[in-house]
Amino acid sequence: MELSKKYADLLDKDDVLSSFRNKFIIPEKEGIQRTYFLGNSLGLQPKTTSNSIDYILHQWGNEGVESFFNGERPWMDLHDQLLGPLSQIAGAQKQEISVMGQLTINIHLMFVSFFRPEGKRHKMLVEAKAFPSDQYAFTSYLEHLGLNPADHLIEIQPQKENSAIQDEDIIAAIEKHADEIALVFIGGVNYYTGQLFDLERIAKAAKSAGAMIGYDLAHAIGNAELKLHEWGVDFACWCSYKYLNGGPGAVGAIFVHDNHLHNKQISRLNGWWGYKKEERFKMHKLFNPAPDATSWQLGTPSMILYACLKASLQIFEEAGWKAVLEKQAKIRSFLALSIKELKSPIFTCLTPDKRGCQVSLLFHEKGRQVYDRLFEQGFMVDWREPNVIRLAPVPLYNSFNDIWKFHHSMKEILASV
Ligand SMILES: Cc1ncc(COP(=O)(O)O)c(C=O)c1O
């Protein structure tokens, strides 16, 4: 791989997914398309999303509540239509996925089922500097159980400040505290550093220790190859507005390993939408759960949000998940090269080689100026106080020329700030 405009052109020419960019609305500034590198934050809007929403509005308008059951595309079937592409992306069986709620809510629901402190086994092992909402969730959940987080939380720190956490350190801590850990809960890709953890090895270590293993996959779903079923992960949850392009506040999802779907020792909070689908409307007093992960659903889901996600998952299906991953690997290498060749002393790349699309650049000086200049020049990247620029070019709507342009502009900006 070489870093040149000619090579970027060649990569774009050979890119079997190049036409997929046209399926998205690319933000513009004064009529010129911006270069959008924020798949890690809010994925772009598929052009089909508005039609997908309109169809639900049309059904609602024409058929009212009948739309749940009647017509060509009854709302009751919408959830299951999301499972094909999602199960492929998550490496899961269809019955292990339930598309529901929002991520932070789902984290709490998963803790209810999978964090069951008992006897000596009463601790939760997590990564230091997890996404703030996860930190609020695990500390408040411990407090809700009457447990002091200072005594019941094991936080794995990076060896040096502002660096990635070593997988080995997580595994060593799991082994060290094997008798005390009830749950290991890690963000699959760290939101700040972009590090992709070795989810297979961590799951194996947690299971050998006799603990439950759960992942927050907000930054990993649609951004990394996952084999949740095969790895024996107990549960996972994610949001769909980043790499899955499901829209702002998109409906989230959970994965529950099929080992647990009929496990009477796993308890849940119940609601009528988790009732066995065929009998839900018989309105029985006693709860009869669905035989799959949808038993974790609580209330009526938004058909509009399902429709948004359906529009974007159809694009993944058309592209083929394997092709998305293949292009991602090339983007990753081209971006890594383009950053390395900047050879600038004013920033360090925080992200280790094991990562998805995201790269985080830690600025020792002038970071904000660089960010502002990038923005002026049409690049949409992300500024994290106090000194980090994150960027995540993605396979479905970014080109290799986008990365070349970024390199070219950064070179100019770094020379002039
Ligand atoms: C890793 C991670 N966890 C949790 C959240 C919170 O998600 P939500 O606001 O959808 O609950 C986010 C949001 O970006 C996130 O990145």
Q: What is the DSSP annotation of 148-193?
A: -HHHHEEEEPPSSTTSPPPHHHHHHHHHHTTTTEEEEEEESB-TTT
Task: Answer yes or no: is pLDDT of 208 > 90.
Answer: yes
Q: Would you state the pLDDT for residue 403?
A: 98
Tokens of 206: 């947690």
Q: Which of 102, 129, 131, 141 best tests ligand 1's pocket when mutated (most atoms within 8 Å of CB)?
A: 131
Q: Would you state the pLDDT for residue 89?
A: 98
Percentage of the chain lying above the pLDDT 90 cut: 97
3-7, 281-285, 407-411: least confidently modelled range: 281-285
Q: How many other CB atoms are found less than 10 A from the CB of residue 113?
A: 21
Q: Return d(Cα 382, Cα 256) in angstroms, integer.
A: 32
* Ligand 1 center to 291 CA (angstroms): 28
pTM of the model: 0.97
Q: Which residue's CA is the closest to the ligand 1 atom numbered 15?
A: 218
Q: Would you state the pLDDT for residue 161?
A: 84
* Ligand 1 center to 104 CA (angstroms): 6
Q: Would you state the pLDDT for residue 246?
A: 98
* Ligand 1 center to 103 CA (angstroms): 6
Q: pLDDT tens digit string along 217-265?
A: 999 999 999 999 999 999 999 999 999 999 999 999 999 999 999 998 9
Q: What is the mean pLDDT of the chain?
A: 97
Number of DSSP helices (H) and strands (E) in the chain, helices first: 13, 17
* Ligand 1 center to 169 CA (angstroms): 24
Q: Span 344-360, mean pLDDT?
A: 96
**What distances in angstroms separate CA 202 from CA 127, 162, 210, 230, one per listed residue?**
12, 22, 12, 13
Q: pLDDT tens digit string along 46-97?
A: 999 999 999 999 999 999 999 999 999 999 999 999 999 999 999 999 999 9
Task: Answer yes or no: is pLDDT of 314 > 90.
Answer: yes
Task: Answer yes or no: is pLDDT of 197 > 90.
Answer: yes
Q: How confident is the model at residue 129 (pLDDT cuts 50, 70, 90)?
A: very high
Task: Answer yes or no: is pLDDT of 163 > 90.
Answer: no
Domains, the chain, with CATH or none: 5-33+320-416 (3.90.1150.10), 54-317 (3.40.640.10)
Q: Span 381-404, mean pLDDT?
A: 97
What residue ranges line ligand 1, CB within 6 angstroms? 102-104, 131, 133-134, 187, 191, 216, 218-219, 239
Atom of ligand 1 minimally distant from the CA of 190:
1
Q: Which of 106, 127, 133 best tests ligand 1's pocket when mutated (most atoms within 8 Å of CB)?
A: 133
* Ligand 1 center to 187 CA (angstroms): 10
Q: Span 337-363, mean pLDDT?
A: 96
Q: Would you state the pLDDT for residue 162?
A: 81
Task: Answer yes or no: is pLDDT of 195 > 90.
Answer: yes
Q: Return d(Cα 111, Cα 85) in angstroms, integer.
A: 26
Sequence-separated (6 or more) residues with CB below 8 Å from residue 263: none
Q: Would you state the pLDDT for residue 94?
A: 98
Q: Would you state the pLDDT for residue 292?
A: 98
Q: Would you state the pLDDT for residue 1?
A: 83
* Ligand 1 center to 315 CA (angstroms): 23
Q: Return d(Cα 178, Cα 175) in angstroms, integer.
A: 5
Atom of ligand 1 minimally distant from the CA of 103:
11
Kindly report the backbone phi and psi dihedral angles of residue 413, in degrees, each rounded to the nearest multiple of 5, phi listed first.
Answer: -65, -45
